[in-house]
């Protein structure tokens, strides 16, 4: 088998526009597993959400979450993590507050924010009650930072004003030990330095002795670019951003046309 690992983004890739996994995709993934391929969810989402979808597919494979800031093994044990330095959290928040941009950040299973936005929670909580993500609303960020057990893996900033977002990103990029990306037209994401899906896929491949040329990576947004560049076969979704399509080795159909299933069928099952 030429390709031994398939790293698959979730939103806009594995999931269709209804936040569901199609039957054709489920069947293709199951057959690929039977053939011995590692099917790895690689998402920007909080770990709890990724675990839910992995369980529904009965994957029993490692999961990459929070844009590569955390990896768990097939038993959901953390095997790799790179949280944001706590000393940078207040600085990041102050920049967002100054620009009046909504933000939240998360650990393994919960969102934290200064304001509760039901629309955002509804998007992430479509599915089973087992996957419900809650949000802790705080007034004083210092109280959150003092929690020694808290790991902040990712910030997400949302604003429909592109200029405002770009201005925020320029400020964030000036902070040492912070990296930025995007997974949607109206957001910017911030992680620790050198955190990306590509670095996480590389780390995982090293651990399980798989070469880059034996990897397929499938995604649709800027935050998928690093793993598409790393993989032997980088695949862009038909609904993907132009930057992804330009760098991909192959362009599949959209997430509503079983694009992921068609890649697995063509390159793993044939």
In terms of C-beta distances under 8 Å and separation of at least 24 residues, what long-range contacts does 161-168 make, across chains too?
162/186, 164/99, 164/101, 165/101, 167/99, 168/95, 168/96, 168/99, 168/101
Of the residues 9, 107, 224, 258, which is catalytic?
Answer: 9
CB 53 within 8 A of CB 125: no
Give CA–CA dist 139/209, Å, rounded: 46
249 is catalytic: no
3-state SS, residue 43: coil
Give CA–CA dist 154/139, Å, rounded: 19
Task: Kindly state the tokens that stand for 118.
Answer: 């039901």
Question: How far from the centroid of its chain's Cα atoms is residue 191's Cα?
Answer: 11
CB 155 within 8 A of CB 190: yes
Using CB atoms within 10 A of its CB, is residue 128 exposed (0-12), middle (13-18) or buried (19+)?
A: exposed
3-state SS, residue 120: helix
Catalytic sites, residue numbers? 9
């Amino acid at each position: 088998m030429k390709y031994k690992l398939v790293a698959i983004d979730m939103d806009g890739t594995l999931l269709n526009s209804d936040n569901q996994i199609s039957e054709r995709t489920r069947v293709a993934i199951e057959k690929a597993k039977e053939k011995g391929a590692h099917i790895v969810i690689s998402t920007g989402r909080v770990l709890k959400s990724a675990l839910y979808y992995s369980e529904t597919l009965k994957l029993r494979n490692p999961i990459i979450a929070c844009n590569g800031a955390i990896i768990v093994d097939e038993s959901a044990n953390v095997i790799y993590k790179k949280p944001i330095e706590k000393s940078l959290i207040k600085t990041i928040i102050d920049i967002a507050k100054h620009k009046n941009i909504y933000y939240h950040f998360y650990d393994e299973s919960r969102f934290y924010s200064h304001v509760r936005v039901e629309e955002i929670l509804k998007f992430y909580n479509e599915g089973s009650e087992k996957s419900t993500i809650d949000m802790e609303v705080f007034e004083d960020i210092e109280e959150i930072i003092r929690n020694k057990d808290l790991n902040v893996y990712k910030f997400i900033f949302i604003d429909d004003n592109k200029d405002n977002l770009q201005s925020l990103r320029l400020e964030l990029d000036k902070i040492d030990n912070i990296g930025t990306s995007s997974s949607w037209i109206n957001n910017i994401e911030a992680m620790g330095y050198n955190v990306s899906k590509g670095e996480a896929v590389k780390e995982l491949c090293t651990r399980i002795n798989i070469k880059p040329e034996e990897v397929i990576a499938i995604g649709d947004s800027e935050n998928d670019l690093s793993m598409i560049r790393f993989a032997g076969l980088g695949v862009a979704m038909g609904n993907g951003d132009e930057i992804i399509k330009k760098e991909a080795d192959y362009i599949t159909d959209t997430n509503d046309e079983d694009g992921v299933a068609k890649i697995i069928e063509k390159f793993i099952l044939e």
